[in-house]
Structure 1
Amino acid sequence: MPDIKNGFHELQLAVKFIKLFARNSGMEGEAYSNWSHFLIHLQASWDKVEAGFADTSGTDIGNKFNYLRGLKIHQRKKDPLLKYLWESRNMVVHGVGFSFRRAMIDKLPAGYTYLSKINKQGIRYDRRQIPVFKTRLLLNTVINKERKFQPPTHHLGVPMENSLDPIEIAIKGISFYFNYIKDTDVEFTRSLSSQQLSAFWTNFNIAEVITDAGKLYHIVNFQPEKENTEYYVENTNNFPITFIHFQGTIM
């Protein structure tokens, strides 16, 4: 009997990591790690659906599944967004890595915070006002075997609102694989309940993911007078602040 539950579980893991990515994309290392895990589990959802039909080769069910799978393979090869996700995953798996670029959403400060130096006795001094900017991670060109894949501008024939936004591309990618799993289940297995399918989107909570991704503020390119200088941060506006290109020590 075909089984797609393992594929569905992998897609749930992909959702888990894109939610972590949205929540922690201000931290460069965590952002890369969570994005990489998202890509790996997204592809694993496809692979494990295929594995669930391994014993149906040559049967009527197997032939019908291969027809549906063939249609989806064609879409994956032709669609810019799905191809971009696939090539990004290949870069991660082969150890090439994956890089984003960070951009300020607005050149005007979103607010201000204060930094004070701390001497060896723990006394704060030289308090200064520092501008805080809103930033976001944007997708970069993927290069695999000397072939370049630009961030997609269309998905399934529909223009994307922001082709450089990793959250938008992740949501659309997850939706494609979810529909593939759902269609396969309806046609062949009937192993996923309507409650499970509904709970998938409730847990994903796209509105929350988008909100989390938009909460990040950064102190950009602040250079201390000396390396390893200790600073105390007064976050008077309660911004979720991280530091970009900062060489001091934060207390």
Structure 2
Amino acid sequence: MPNLFFAKEELKFAKEALEQFKNTKEFLPNSKHWTDFLIHLELSFIKAERGSQDIKNIFIPFQGKYKKIRKIDPVLSYLKNARDAVSHGLETIVDLEIVSKKVVDKIQLSRLDENGNVIEITEHPMFPARIKLKTFTINGQIWNPPTYHRGKRLIYDKEPLESANLALHFYENFINEIEKL
């Protein structure tokens, strides 16, 4: 019987990181929560593999089907390689994109002299924006944000949460199917 405890834990950690990413009020291109999501998602697959060594004879052919899907599916291959890029490279995987030129707010920045007196105030507009997946390069290969998953077009262009939720569903299904072997 496979030991999937650690694979399930990693999947749980991936879900928690995604929830934190979704609820964060600040944007950082190297978001710890997004990076944690990518890492734990990949670890769920690795730990499922390690935990299934006692059923290796039936697991290896079963896993082959999932490995192939991970390799050819745009969402799954993008996220796996995004994990590699943040773990082994200097790439950022998400970016902020202004979605409208309509000013929604303004902020004022003050420049101070050495005594703390305001010497200049500048006003800067704030525009509505969204977080989007970025194109990145790893090992000489360019990875564009996915537009399809399992043959179906994604609803939102470059939207990280849609890709993340589709991947979570895939990995949950993978682990659930192992339990049936």
What band does the TM-score fall into relative to the shorter chain? 0.7 to 0.9
Match of 1:27 in 2: 27
CA RMSD of the aligned region, Å? 2.5
Cα offset for 1:81? Answer: 0.9
For residue 17 of structure 1, what is the amino acid of its counterpart?
A
Match of 1:89 in 2: 83
Greater shift in the superposed pair: 98-107 or 67-76: 98-107
Cα offset for 1:118? Answer: 8.8
Cα offset for 1:160? Answer: 0.5
Q: Where in structure 2 are there 5+ consecutive unaligned residues? A: none
For residue 136 of structure 2, what is the amino acid of its counterpart?
V
For residue 161 of structure 1, what is the amino acid of its counterpart?
I
Give the alignment's TM-score, normalised by structure 1: 0.63
Q: Where in structure 1 are there 5+ consecutive unaligned residues? A: 57-61, 189-251
Match of 1:161 in 2: 155
Question: CA separation of 1:119/1:46 partners in 2, compared to 1, >3 Å: closer, same or farther?
Answer: closer
State, as a whole percentage, how many aligned pairs show the same letter. 28
Match of 2:134 among 140, 144, 157: 140
- Residue 102 of structure 1 aligns to a residue whose secondary structure is strand
- Residue 169 of structure 1 aligns to a residue whose secondary structure is helix
How do 1:100-139 and structure 2 match up within 5 A?
Answer: 100-110=94-104, 112-113=105-106, 115=108, 117=110, 131-139=125-133
Greater shift in the superposed pair: 7-16 or 160-169: 160-169
On the 8 A contact 1:11/1:178 being kept in 2, the answer is: yes
On the 8 A contact 1:87/1:142 being kept in 2, the answer is: no
Deviations 1:27-73 (A, max 9, x none): 316x52211111110000001111111233xxxxx322222211111
On the 8 A contact 1:40/1:89 being kept in 2, the answer is: yes
Match of 2:68 in 1: 74
- Residue 138 of structure 1 aligns to a residue whose secondary structure is strand
On the 8 A contact 1:118/1:124 being kept in 2, the answer is: yes
Equivalenced residues, count? 180
Match of 2:175 in 1: 181
- Residue 58 of structure 2 aligns to a residue whose secondary structure is helix
Cα offset for 1:99? Answer: 3.6
Q: 2-side partners of 1:68 and 1:113: how far apart?
A: 55
- Residue 127 of structure 2 aligns to a residue whose secondary structure is strand
Larger radius of gyration: 1
Q: 2-side partners of 1:182 and 1:63: how far apart?
A: 18
On the 8 A contact 1:2/1:52 being kept in 2, the answer is: yes
